[in-house]
Each structure stands twice: as C-alpha cells, then as structure tokens.
Amino acid sequence: MPLAKYEYLSDVWRDGIFDNKVIFCTGGAGTICSAQVRAMVHLGANACIIGRNVEKTENMAKDIATARKGAKVLGFGAVDVRKPEALAEAAQKCVKELGSIDFVIAGAAGNFLAPMDQISQNAMKAVMDIDVLGSYNTVKATLPYLIESAAKHKTDGKTPPPKGTGGRIIFVSATLHYTGTPLQSHVSVAKAGVDAMAMSVAIEQGPKGITSNVIAPGPIADTEGVARLSKQEGRDRVSKSIPAGRYGTVKEIADATIYLFSDAGNYVNGEVLVVDGGQWHTSGVAGGQWQYPDFLLSGETVTGVAGGKKSKL
C-alpha cells in the first residue's frame, strides 16, 4: 500500500532532481533497499528492482510505483545475484525498457545467527557468494551502462550539472566487522569484502566519472533483518546502547542514498557512510558491567577495578 512520504524521504529534497534517470537495485524487494528505491522514484527516477522471489519482487515494484504518478518500476524476479548471466540479462532488459542505468544499489545479502564452529562450509560459502560475489556480479553487469551515464552527466562542482547526476553506485554493507560481532563472523567477513570492493571500484572507475560508495546501516526498526535476527528484549537493550537513543528508520538510509546520488555528493567517492546513530562506537560497552547509558547518566563513579580512580573535578 502507498506510504506517507515522510516514512521514506525527508522534506529537504527537491522534487524532480532525478527526472529521466534509472536506478537498478539488487535486493530491491527488501525493507531497506525498497525504501531507497522508493525515495529515488519519488524524486523523479524510474527503477528496476531485482530479487529471487517473483511474486514479492513484482508486488514491491507495483507498490514503489505509487510514490510518483507516472513512475515506471519494473520488478525482475527469479534473478539470483550469484549467477552473472542472470544479472547481465536483467541489466539489458532494464536498459531496453527504461533507456539507461544511471544509478546502482548493490543490496542483495544473506544472514543468519551462528557461532563459527556451527557454520558449515556451504553456509559460509552461501553468504560470501550472495554478498561478495553478488556485488561483484552486479558491478560487472551494470558497469558499461554506468560509464555511459557518467560521461553524459559530468560534474565539476562549480556549475549545476545540466542533465543532473549519473554513473554512481552504492553498496549496502554493515558495521559488524568494525569491532567484531559474535554470531556474525560469516557476515562480517563478507561485508569487509564488499567494502574493499567498493574502494577498488572508486579507484579504478573514478577516472571514468564513476563514484562508488558504501552505506553501512546500523539497527533499523521494522526491517526483516531485525524481526528475524533479534528478540524483543534484545532490541530494547540494544536501543539503550545507541548514542542516538533509538533504532534508525529506513527513511534515514534513503536520505543518505539521495545525498550520495545527488549533486550534493559529487565529490564523495570511495567512502563508507555509516548511518547507525553512533551505535558501533558503543559496541564495546553495550551490555557490559556498567550498563550504557544508565551508568553515565547516574553520575556514579567506577568502583571495584584498578582503573576506577575517582575524578578530582
């Protein structure tokens, strides 16, 4: 069903900034990626979303199209990002039906909770294949079209690009590997690989006008991942450990997407934009002996440890 605009897009963006542009998104039927695409469509873009589940992908495409009257949103189901020929065919169909590919979101991912000694080789390989190889296959399938788009939409940072922006890719990653996360060794390794790939694309394809960046979401409320991979009591504890004091929203990931794809993001290349309310910075104290942030707010002094010297301030 149609969503209220503020559920997926802030009011600061001007309508029409992506007119006549096309976004190609793997994992596009997912909660986060669909919000990213919906925001782009609201602001003028047409879209192709890619997924394995035919019904889910096609239904989501129809739903996203309600973001703007006259929008064209194609849902290509039965496409596995681990199969390069399937992605190449999807990219070709997208260009044939919509005219170009100007922006790409590599968002397909796999996840589950398990310690390393309980992860089989096949399970580890599946996550690596979906996240890392799938991202690689997405780049390979769309890069020729991105290069064409970048050539048409050059920006110098001094004058408004007459035809808008283009030739940009965002990889959807995570913050799990920054400090290490229990039960997530497989995804941590995969997302570290995705980050490295994004940097390589920026370095190698930047001279052709391509920008390649990463968005690393933190805990985002009302998403499939949170619902599937956490318990309610755990969510309450995690939310207290986030400096922002709450879980994020899909709108905040979509806003970051608009920033990187718009004129505002012209000179951002090869970077990781973390959108997590500061959560990864407190991962070492969350759930520890001194509950964050209650202990800090109480004004108490650390006792019982050698490093608990009382302040003289």
pLDDT tens digits, residue range 12-46?
999 999 999 999 999 999 999 999 999 999 999 99
SS3 106: strand
Boundaries of every domain in the chain: 5-288
3-state secondary structure 228-290: HHCCHHHHHHHHHHCCCCCCECHHHHHHHHHHHHCHHHCCCCCCEEEECCCHHHHCCCCCCCC
Percent of the chain with pLDDT over 90: 71
| Confidence at 310, pLDDT banded by 50, 70, 90 | very low
The side-by-side arrangement of strands in the sheet containing 103-106 is 73-76, 46-50, 22-26, 103-106, 168-172, 211-217, 272-275
For β-strands 211-217 and 168-172, DSSP reports them as parallel
pLDDT tens digits, residue range 118-149?
889 999 999 999 999 999 999 999 999 999 99
* Spatial distance between the Cα atoms of 33 and 37, rounded to a whole number of angstroms: 6
Supply the pLDDT for residue 231: 55
DSSP summary character for residue 220: B
Architecture of the 5-288 domain = 3-Layer(aba) Sandwich (3.40)
Quote the mean pLDDT of the chain.
89
User: Active-site positions?
Assistant: 173, 191
| Confidence at 223, pLDDT banded by 50, 70, 90 | confident
Structure tokens that stand for 56 in this block = 């889910």
Structure tokens that stand for 113 in this block = 């909770």
Q: Which ranges of 24-112 would DSSP assign to H, the alpha helix?
A: 31-42, 54-64, 84-98
The predicted model gives 7-15 an average pLDDT of: 93
| Confidence at 288, pLDDT banded by 50, 70, 90 | very low
The predicted model gives 194-211 an average pLDDT of: 98
Supply the pLDDT for residue 285: 55
Tell me the helix, strand and coil percentages in the chain, rounded to 5. 45, 10, 40
Res 175 pLDDT > 90: yes
Res 312 pLDDT > 50: no
| Confidence at 309, pLDDT banded by 50, 70, 90 | very low
pTM of the predicted protein model: 0.90
Structure tokens that stand for 291 in this block = 């509950």
Res 76 pLDDT > 50: yes
pLDDT tens digits, residue range 225-284?
666 555 565 667 778 889 999 999 999 999 999 999 999 999 999 999 999 999 999 875
The predicted model gives 189-212 an average pLDDT of: 98
| Confidence at 2, pLDDT banded by 50, 70, 90 | confident
Q: Among 154-163, 228-237, 291-300, where is mean pLDDT lowest?
A: 228-237
For β-strands 103-106 and 22-26, DSSP reports them as parallel
Upper half-sphere CA count for residue 295 (Cβ side, 13 Å): 12
- Go through 273-290 and write b for each residue having 16 or more CB atoms within 10 A of its CB, e for each that does not: bbbbbebbbbbeeeeeee
